[in-house]
Structure 1
Amino acid sequence: MQLQTDEQKQEAVTSHLVLFPHNQQARPDASLLIDLSGAIHASQRIEIDYRSLHNEVTHRKVEPYGITGWKGHWYLGGYCCLRQDYRSFRLDRIQQVQILSETFEKAENFDFEAYVKEQYNAGSIHMEVEFQAEMSTVQQKIPTLYGTLTETPTGVLLQEQYDDVESMARYLMSLNLPFVIHHPPELREALLRLGERMVQLATAQ
């Protein structure tokens, strides 16, 4: 087997990551991340010992498709041969991994990024925020993966799903762009609370 260079390993890692905003991701095990990314890049099946939320350990054969940072954790997404369906696996619950020599063909009709976004958006809140800026300016600040950007007569409308209005309020403030919150009202309230805390800090003696 031909050994990968450091540059090839780095490319394998970065080309199969899907990251979501506003989350403090736990740092994954570097060696595990490199091994999984290499298997994804080469379309190699893997075997894992996986510990569930209820501390049950199962042995799985998985066809890995990608890795994502999501809600404070890192996940491997792919086809689980045991469950015969697509699944996501938290990296910190993978107790052992073995890269197999057998390869697989990725399903053309499976969109890993769309699958992750669907999982990520489950049970979340629909948000609409309009930025009073040019589309090019907003795109420099907000990657399209974060949500849908649509031009309006007065700016750019961002529509996305998220489950934490407090962190969304902090994120909006960090963009340094003028904006109007259309929905939900809870986001406006969170922004007001954030503003009040900032004023208190600024005026504290």
Structure 2
Amino acid sequence: MNRIDRLTGTILLLQNHRGLSAAAIARHWEISERSVYRDLAALGEAGVPIHFCEERQGYVLMADYHLPPIQFTDQEAAALSVGGVVARNMADESLKAPLRSALTKMRSVLPAASLDYLKGLEASVGVWKTAAAAPGHAHRFMPVQDAVLRRRCIDLCYDTGGQGRLRRRTVEPLGLLFYAEHWHLIAYCRWRRDFRDFRLDRVRELEVLEGGFDGHVDFNIDDFLASVIADCELTPVTLTLPRTAVDRFQRELFGTPTQQTDLPDGRCRLSILAHAEDWLVDWLLSFGPELRVEAPQSLRRKLGESARQIAEQHLGKPLT
């Protein structure tokens, strides 16, 4: 990055923070604090109103100062455009409208050559959407995200386990997490008096309440996820499967470390720590007869029993 881009980026940093120390700016750009002081002096000489705020112990911009309209490079515009393609297919309807608006604003400041570049890019990039949102339940993300940031309680009607068992509860929303091809709300449930994980596509009704909530000020979504994994009772599982199936296996097995050993016959032996053995049975069956569980015996028995029931159902007679 050249110095002009860094100076412009420093202004953007200060616009988006209420006070940054020279050390914080240096860490962001991976430069020395002495270089930061030189940059701040250069910006001051150019008329950018930056001053040190004792109360915030950092450098701030005057509140009424704004950069002129931002110009995007082709690479920056392409990155945002591709991100938009991905987000349109992973987000619900509540996110799509503001996303379209933001991308339209970006395109409005691009020169004609850059617009032609983006049209070619968008024609050559696609995302296969693997799961459609449930009808009538596709406007959840933005209201929930807003409630998380504003610390507003949510009253929701939730389909527990996706089995039609509806329960109404009030929760304190703390974060959003995308895994297993769905968005999940992590919240403190006042009914259960504990943290809970709610799949957004299973929320049937949702109302953001006027009342806010206190507490959970140190909540961090990554720390929460790590603690959940650490608290789970894990079962060691060893299995073998064709090397061609390893990529799918590792991609779909959320949050579980995998040890892999390549075998001479073109198969792989995988050792994992499983969180829920019952769920694992149904998922492992989807790999077909090429997957073989070596241990534990309890999982082998459950797989065998499930496979037997499936076979009897389709053959129309008991297996002997």
TM-score category, normalised to shorter length: 0.5 to 0.7
Residues in 1 aligned to 2:242 and 2:291: alpha-carbon distance in whole angstroms: 7
Residues in 1 aligned to 2:143 and 2:168: alpha-carbon distance in whole angstroms: 24
Q: CA deviation at 1:149?
A: 0.9
Instruction: Give the counterpart of 1:97 among 190, 208, 212.
Output: 208
Q: CA deviation at 1:147?
A: 1.9
SS of 2:275's equivalent in the other structure is strand
Residues in 1 aligned to 2:89 and 2:146: alpha-carbon distance in whole angstroms: 9
Going from structure 1 to structure 2, the CA distance change for 1:66 and 1:198 (only over 3 Å counts) comes to: same
TM-score by length of 1: 0.54
1:105-184 paired onto structure 2 within 5 Å = 110-117=222-229, 121=232, 126-134=235-243, 137-143=245-251, 144-152=253-261, 154=263, 155-164=269-278, 167-176=279-288, 177-183=290-296
Asked if 1:64 is matched to 2:178, the reply is: no
Going from structure 1 to structure 2, the CA distance change for 1:107 and 1:49 (only over 3 Å counts) comes to: closer
* 1:62-120 C-alpha deviation (Å, 9 max, x unpaired): 453114679xx98521579x9xx9833646497521599xxxx975695243245457x
Going from structure 1 to structure 2, the CA distance change for 1:131 and 1:110 (only over 3 Å counts) comes to: same
1:28-67 paired onto structure 2 within 5 Å = 29-37=137-145, 43-49=149-155, 62=172, 64-67=174-177
Letter of the 1:45 counterpart: R
Residues in 1 aligned to 2:197 and 2:281: alpha-carbon distance in whole angstroms: 29
For these two proteins, the number of residue pairs brought into alignment is 168
Letter of the 2:175 counterpart: Y
Going from structure 1 to structure 2, the CA distance change for 1:112 and 1:13 (only over 3 Å counts) comes to: farther
Going from structure 1 to structure 2, the CA distance change for 1:162 and 1:151 (only over 3 Å counts) comes to: same
Larger radius of gyration: 2
* 1:38-81 C-alpha deviation (Å, 9 max, x unpaired): 555xx44333246899x8965x6x453114679xx98521579x
**Mapped contact 2:156–2:205 kept (Cα < 8 A):** yes
Residues in 1 aligned to 2:283 and 2:179: alpha-carbon distance in whole angstroms: 17
Higher helix share: 2
Going from structure 1 to structure 2, the CA distance change for 1:160 and 1:31 (only over 3 Å counts) comes to: same
Q: Which has the higher contact order (CA 8 A, sep 6+)?
A: 1
Letter of the 1:173 counterpart: L
TM-score by length of 2: 0.38
Going from structure 1 to structure 2, the CA distance change for 1:37 and 1:129 (only over 3 Å counts) comes to: farther
Higher strand share: 1
Q: CA RMSD in A?
A: 4.8
**Mapped contact 2:147–2:153 kept (Cα < 8 A):** no
